[in-house]
Structure 1
Amino acid sequence: MRRSFAFTCTLLIIGWLLAAIACVQVPAYTFWPAAFVALTLPVALLLNLLSVPYWLLRNWRVAALPLLVAVLTWPHLQRGVALHPLRVAPAADEPGLRVRVLSSNVRIFNVYPQLRDPDLASSKKLIQWVADNPAEIICLQEFYNEPQSSTSKEKDVFNSVERIGVRSGRQSFVSRSLTNRAGAEFGMAIFSRYPILRRGTVNFGKLTQNHAMWADLRLPNKDTIRVFNFHLQSMSLDERDIVDSYSSKAGFRNKALGLMRRFKRGMVSRSWQVDTLTRRFERSPYPLLLCADLNDLPYSYSYDQIADHFQNAWATVGNGVGPTYHGQLPFIRIDNQFASPEWVVDDFWVHYEIPYSDHYPTTATYRLMPK
């Protein structure tokens, strides 16, 4: 009877796992409950893996079933937990042109009063670190700049276009979502040591911080590549509310329903936003590099639609979860870089030593393979 019950549980876990994988493919704007089922996928993957050693000890014939499912769903596991313990760094003489890319949500360089520290120390350090980074391409979300024409008294600190761009030998493209009365600019930015040939912006309705931008860059070998930098709809969740919702029964009653409503609205928005972008990706005549604050997890529709056609840099060469969110919620990877098949991913790093934003910066090295 115990074995019969365990076998039934194993079948239920496999059914749950397959249902969650199917739900990942469903956009939230067509059927939003599927998005919540999809988020349970890592639990189902883990339980299926745990059932393999259990049945190996009990009945090896039965173990073949969850083992086969684990092999078939391994790419889904790799999206959340990358495993490359035996990977060797590529040699310096490997073929292909190397391109280094930095991507970071810089949280408007902490310009708001509630984010500031004495003497604007974190703002200065973050801007200087980005400016000094050796990456040839830099993509920044939640960007902030005070040009020389600004009337702000702090423009010597926040003149980020000049410091990251002009002074560092990079061309710049700033996609502005707002310019305030003092002349300060909010939006996103792409900086490049390579010439910028063409550029554009993709709005998701009204232009806000949540939009996309792209630039065509001419590489030293005369190839042209297209870089997308995008910031999908924010989760609109206060992490203190999330912590309160599971810390007590009262917190759950007071916070959980509101959190679910906001989370639902965010998932619906991100699903149609990523559909808008994937159509743009398909029309690109050039190899693509994508930098994104997805505001979504690896087991989501928005991540899945990109990962089905592009290499995720962390999943390709990393080890572990690779969290990028700097806050009270652990193991959250919402910042990603992707590359089209023409590229080889050499390395990828999350910079935990740079704690000046609520997102850790990421850098990657790619090689564009000869045609």
Structure 2
Amino acid sequence: MKGLKFGSKIIFVINSLVAFLLLTSYILPYIPPKSFATLSVLSLGVPLLIILNVIFFVYWLLRVKKQMILSLMVLLLGWSYISSMYKFSSSSDIKDDANFSVMSFNVRLLNKFGWLPSKTVKEDIIKLVKEENADIICFQEYRRSDAIELEGYYNFNATYTDGVKGGQSIFSKFPIVNSGSLEFPNTYNNAIFVDIVKQKDTIRVYTFHLQSSGIDTDVEKLKNETSGHLFKQVGATFKIQQDQVDLFLAHKAKSNYKTIVTGDFNNTPYSYIYRKIKGDNLKDTFEEAGNGFGRTYDFKFFPMRIDFILADNDFTVNGFKTFDVKLSDHYPIKTTLKLSH
């Protein structure tokens, strides 16, 4: 740090810490939360760490200082992280007669407790869904007691189903020939699935809502939380998520059908949870055809993508869209797929 003024030295020390944290985050997808729960929490902050390293790089670059190399190298080493965070792809769909569309949306109980001031949230959600006319629609945090009715769709768990927890539902224009639920223990959360028939193909569709940390995202309320409590709470959540994902993977392994996985993962693309769900046989439809940050959760500090549509590698992704509509604390997503033969 020779030749730097005292203020610049302080900035470079902070820069070094931020670069080290981002570098450390690159190994997090390979570390089970049960092994290092506290460390796994760092995955939530990856978007912020990327943004900060870009700022530091530009700061030193404008001053023509060699210190810019630190953040540049760390960013280049994690280029896949950056490409996952922001996409320059075209958002227009590729037209094909074999296309079909899948939509996923955490509807936050259809605004049951009045989080949003609007009194027409349910009606606005139905209007959006009808306008988009997706072939498959997956809802999380759905209220069966205030059921949505969609003409022209088969459905599973849209109304009360014996032995199945509420919260998740699937609508499909294609016939549903099989369905079921994975009941996660000691929680209201679960995963449901349907097997649908599209022409001669049977496709399995999952949707789930993994354990939530329960942390309020309101800035003023967060100020009253200690960092130790936050880390402990989120770390405990990630351990529960790991158990839920293990149940899901065991169930998925018994199926030979081409698979689509949708839902609110309550975790980021930089986490162990995401990597295990995605595996080697699924691809992230946002990464294939998305545009921009792909933010799916209304988090005030930086763009967070915690809702996903993953599709079997045998699918071609011909489009992806994130909807900038304030009907929940999440944003709806939709992908256009084609099954390759």
TM over 0.5: yes
Aligned residues: 331
Three-state SS of the structure 2 residue aligned to 1:97 is: coil
The one-letter code matched in structure 1 to 2:88 is: H
Q: Which has the higher helix share?
A: 1
Q: How has the CA–CA distance of structure 1 residues 40 and 170 changed in structure 2, closer, same or farther, with 3 Å as cutoff?
A: closer
**Percent of aligned positions with the same letter in both sequences?**
27
Q: Which residue of 2 aligns with 1:271?
A: 242
* Cα 1:68/1:207, change in 2 over 3 Å: closer
1:101-131 superposed Cα distances (whole Å, 9 cap, x missing partner): 111111222234x45868x522233234335
Q: Which whole-Å CA distance do the structure 2 matches of 1:211 and 1:83 have between them?
A: 31
Aligned partners of 1:105, 1:125: CA distance in 2, in Å?
14
Greater relative contact order, per chain length (Cα 8 Å cut-off, separation 6+):
2
* Amino acid in structure 1 at the alignment position of 2:108: R
Q: 1:24 aligns with which of 15, 22, 29?
A: 29
Instruction: Judge conservation of contact 1:239–1:329 (CA < 8 Å) in 2.
Output: no
Where 2:166 maps in the other structure, the secondary structure is strand
**Partner letter of residue 179 of structure 2?**
R
Gapped runs of 5+ residues in structure 2?
Answer: none
> Who is 1:293 aligned against?
264
Out of 182, 201, 214, the position equivalent to 2:193 is 214
- Whether the aligned pair in 2 keeps the contact of 1:109 and 1:127 (CA below 8 Å) is no
Q: Deviations over 1:215-249 (max 9, x none)?
A: 111112x1111111000001211223x53334xxx
Pair 1:9–1:203, CA change in 2 (3 A): same
State the SS of the aligned residue for 2:26.
helix
Separation in 1, partners of 2:35, 2:131: 45
Alignment-derived partner of residue 289 in structure 2: 317
Structure 2 contact 139–168 (Cα < 8 Å) conserved: yes
Kept after mapping to 1: 8 A contact 2:41/2:234 = no
Does 2:226 align with 1:225? Answer: no
Q: Aligned match of 2:318 in 338, 341, 346?
A: 346
Consecutive unaligned residues of structure 1, counting only runs of 5 or more, are 147-157, 180-184
On the 8 A contact 1:232/1:294 being kept in 2, the answer is yes
AA of the residue aligned to 2:249: T
Residue 260 of structure 1 corresponds to which residue in structure 2? 231
Aligned to 2:153: 170
TM-score, normalised relative to structure 2: 0.81
SS at the partner of 2:157?
strand
Cα pair 1:84 1:319 within 8 Å, conserved: yes
Pairing partner for 2:330 from 359, 362, 366: 359
1: CA distance between counterparts of 2:91 and 2:296? 24
Cα 1:47/1:259, change in 2 over 3 Å: closer
Aligned 8 A contact 2:28 2:270 in 1: no
Write the deviation string for residues 75-100 of structure 1: whole angstroms up to 9, x where unpaired.
12222x22225x4846424xx72110
Matched with 1:92 is 95
2:179 to 199, 202, 223: 199
What do residues 309-364 of structure 1 show as CA deviations (whole Å, max 9, x unaligned)?
Answer: 322222222233222223655522222111121112222212223x2222221111
Amino acid at match of 1:230: F
**Which amino acid is 1:218 matched to?**
V
C-alpha deviation, 1:49, in angstroms:
5.2
- 1:46–1:326 distance in 2 versus 1, CA, 3 Å: closer
Distance 1:286 1:43 in 2: 38
Does residue 190 (structure 1) correspond to residue 170 (structure 2)? The answer is yes
Q: 1:233 is paired with a residue of what secondary structure?
A: coil
